[in-house]
Amino acid sequence: MTPIGIFDSGYGGLTILDGIRHQLPQYDYLYLGDNARAPYGSRSFDVVYEFTRQAVEKLFSMGCQLVILGCNTASAKALRSIQQNDLPRWNSPGSPLYNPSAATRRVLGVIRPTAEVIGQLTRSRHVGLLATEGTVRSQSYQLEIHKLSPDVQVSGVACPLWVPIIEAGEASSPGADYFVKKRIDQLMALDPLIDTIILGCTHYPLLMPKIVKYAPQGVRLVPQGDYVASSLRDYFARHSEIEQRCSRNATVRYLTTENPDRFQETAQYFLSTPITAEHVDL
């Protein structure tokens, strides 16, 4: 079996997995959450890179040919280093991971697919970003968007309490309103011309009802799951050598570095069906 690997520091990548499975249900998937070491948002570049590299290596060792970093922080702080430094080594003879029939392993992120559509979505050319501290500080969205749409201005605000609120099961509670409104107001104060807001953390779709409530009328909200899924489908069309190696039994296997029971319980906030998880060490 050759599943598509999806990695996240915790649970947020489940929204990416859900979006991908909605459009591409036929493939097998292997989800890995590094919950024992989450959150990644406030960690340094070096630490995020090392943790992400370990997870990707684990997924490759379990048969994946393609790994998607379903985590914005990992995509911002680790993807480029893994693509430039680690993939050539893993795909070379002498590596414990080397397999002549699988020497085209790939790692993709979630920032580029979102950046690719922003130029088509914004009319004012002013875009907002709500994300973790690490993603905002990395300037990754600004860099990727400016490569494709140089005239688009991007303003970002970190939302440090949104992930804990979601993972505590409080996304729909009245107490969450204050923190959602505070960050949206802060973002719009930075640039009142913003007409499109990127939800730059894969947890944030769970706060969508409150984000819709407090975002100014007419502002478009951009969650990532559907765009990442569409981008993957396009990627497969361009890279048949990768697509053909992905097995098709419509299965999903869930791995976590934390307690599997706890993972299963919290995952219910992100997925509509109960799951069974397994513990794994990195």
Tens-place pLDDT, residues 56-81: 999 999 999 999 999 999 999 999 99
Name the CA dihedral angle for 241, 52, 48, 81, rounded to a multiple of 10 degrees.
Answer: -30
Q: Which of 210, 240, 203, 243 is nearest to 224 (CA)?
A: 203
In Å, what is the CA distance from 160 to each residue of 41, 165, 175, 260?
8, 10, 15, 25
Can you give the residue range of the structural domain that contains 170? 111-223
Residue where a domain terminates, one of 185, 206, 223: 223
102 plus 238 within the same structural domain: yes
237 plus 257 within the same structural domain: yes
Residue 10 sits in a domain whose CATH number is 3.40.50.1860
245 plus 215 within the same structural domain: no
CA atoms within 13 A on the CB side of 269: 24
Res. 10 pLDDT band, cuts 50 70 90 = very high
Tens-place pLDDT, residues 171-205: 999 999 999 999 999 999 999 999 999 999 999 99
Which pLDDT belongs to residue 102? 58
23 plus 101 within the same structural domain: yes
Provide the domain count of the chain: 2
Q: What are the tokens at 282?
A: 């990195």
Task: Specify the pTM.
Answer: 0.92
101 pLDDT above the threshold of 70:
no
Which pLDDT belongs to residue 41? 85
99 plus 140 within the same structural domain: no
126 plus 216 within the same structural domain: yes
Tens-place pLDDT, residues 124-157: 999 999 999 989 999 999 999 999 999 999 999 9
Residue where a domain terminates, one of 223, 242, 257: 223
Tens-place pLDDT, residues 236-260: 999 998 999 999 999 999 999 999 9
Burial of 61 (0-12, 13-18, 19+ CB in 10 A): exposed
219 plus 83 within the same structural domain: no
Q: Which of 180, 119, 193 is nearest to 149 (CA)?
A: 119
122 plus 247 within the same structural domain: no
Catalytic residues: 71, 201
82 plus 8 within the same structural domain: yes
Burial of 263 (0-12, 13-18, 19+ CB in 10 A): buried
88 plus 33 within the same structural domain: yes
